[in-house]
Amino acid sequence: MKQILTDVYWLLGQGFDCNVFIIDSRQESIMIDTGAGSVLNQRFSTASSNIETLKRAIDTKRIKHIFLTHGHIDHIGGILSLQSEVDCMISASSEEALQLSSGNSPYLDPIMNSTCSPLKITKKYDEGDTIAVGDYNFQVFETPGHTKGSLSLYEPEKKILISGDTVFPQGSFGRTDLPSGSSSELLKSLERLSNLEIHVLLPGHMPPVISQSPLNSVKDSFRNAQMMLSYY
Ligand SMILES: [Zn+2]
């Protein structure tokens, strides 16, 4: 677990885990995505999942809110490992909440099709909502394409984008061939994000990018996606 910005910590996604970000203000903590937890890691005998590392690194009782960028198992599975010790709000988009509450395995885990227990989403976020934690005030953006209900968070003052699996560093972007994925929707989402001024990109996979000046990375992703996806 590494501190990357004031009050922001990052746990690298390894194996089946996505990146996990914790914003730990003095009053409360918010966790963004959870990694796969033991669901896949145990099945494939990975030595230790993100969640185990997380439990050693922070007092999980301080987590008051788990925000899910989308419903894929490598982003949500860790909730099952945390549920017994954390009593907090769990949020996602209305669309992903629908899939999570039904335990729709092909949607939640399209690769391995693991059994997914239904998950109760206690708060739904949609376009235009805001999330405040410490000195950070995030705007919720609906960014469909990787999944229909994918969300991104943008902090306009600090120019931070938390992008889930919609956009990755180095001009890459999320796949669109999984259930509810859409290349045309992803292109629209990338175009929108590419118009934002972004200095910090916190993606669902690959290391974060942190700069004092505007990044071209998301613009590159949009350009690459235009070339690769416009036939769909
Ligand atoms: Zn995903």
The band of 49, judged by pLDDT with boundaries at 50, 70 and 90, is low
* CA distances to 26, 126, 135 from 92, in Å: 24, 8, 22
pLDDT at 13: 84
Characterise 123 by phi-psi region: left (phi > 0), alpha (psi -120 to 50), beta (else): beta
3-state class of 102 per DSSP?
helix
Position 42 pLDDT exceeds 80: no
The band of 48, judged by pLDDT with boundaries at 50, 70 and 90, is low
Position 192 pLDDT exceeds 50: yes
- DSSP per-residue letters across 149-215: T-EEEEETTTTEEEEETTB-STT-B----STT--HHHHHHHHHHHHTS--SEEEESSS--EE-SS--
Position 50 pLDDT exceeds 80: no
Dist. CA 72 → ligand 1 center (Å): 5
> 5-9, 78-82, 121-125 — which is least confidently predicted?
78-82
Q: Which helix (H) or strand (E) covers residue 54, if one does?
A: helix 50-57
Dist. CA 150 → ligand 1 center (Å): 9
For the ranges 1-15, 58-72, 145-159, the maximum mean pLDDT occurs at 145-159
The band of 37, judged by pLDDT with boundaries at 50, 70 and 90, is confident
Residue 11: beta bridge partners? Answer: 20
Residue 123: beta bridge partners? Answer: 91
Contacting residues for 202 by C-beta, under 8 A, at least 6 apart: 8, 10, 19, 21, 32, 160, 161, 162, 163, 208
Average pLDDT over all residues of the chain:
90
Report how far Cα 22 is from the mean position of its chain's Cα atoms.
Answer: 11
Other C-beta atoms closer than 10 Å to the C-beta of 202 total: 24
Dist. CA 27 → ligand 1 center (Å): 30
The band of 47, judged by pLDDT with boundaries at 50, 70 and 90, is very low
pLDDT at 123: 97
Burial (CB < 10 A; 0-12, 13-18, 19+), residue 25, is middle
Q: Which residue has the tokens 């769909």?
A: 232
Position 160 pLDDT exceeds 90: yes
Dist. CA 122 → ligand 1 center (Å): 21
Dist. CA 70 → ligand 1 center (Å): 7
d(CA 190, CA 132): 24
Strand order in the sheet with 123-125: 2-5, 8-11, 20-24, 29-32, 63-67, 89-93, 123-125
Closest of 145, 174, 149 to residue 99, by C-alpha: 149
Ligand 1 ion local residues (Cβ < 5 A): 72, 165
Average pLDDT of 175-193? 97
Class of 2-229 in CATH: alpha beta
Average pLDDT of 13-41? 84
Q: Which residue has the tokens 């999330």?
A: 131
Dist. CA 222 → ligand 1 center (Å): 18
Dist. CA 172 → ligand 1 center (Å): 14
The 10s digit of each residue's pLDDT in 102-143 is 999 899 999 888 878 899 899 999 999 999 999 999 999 999
Dist. CA 163 → ligand 1 center (Å): 11
Asked if residues 33 and 20 have their Cβ atoms less than 8 Å apart, the reply is yes
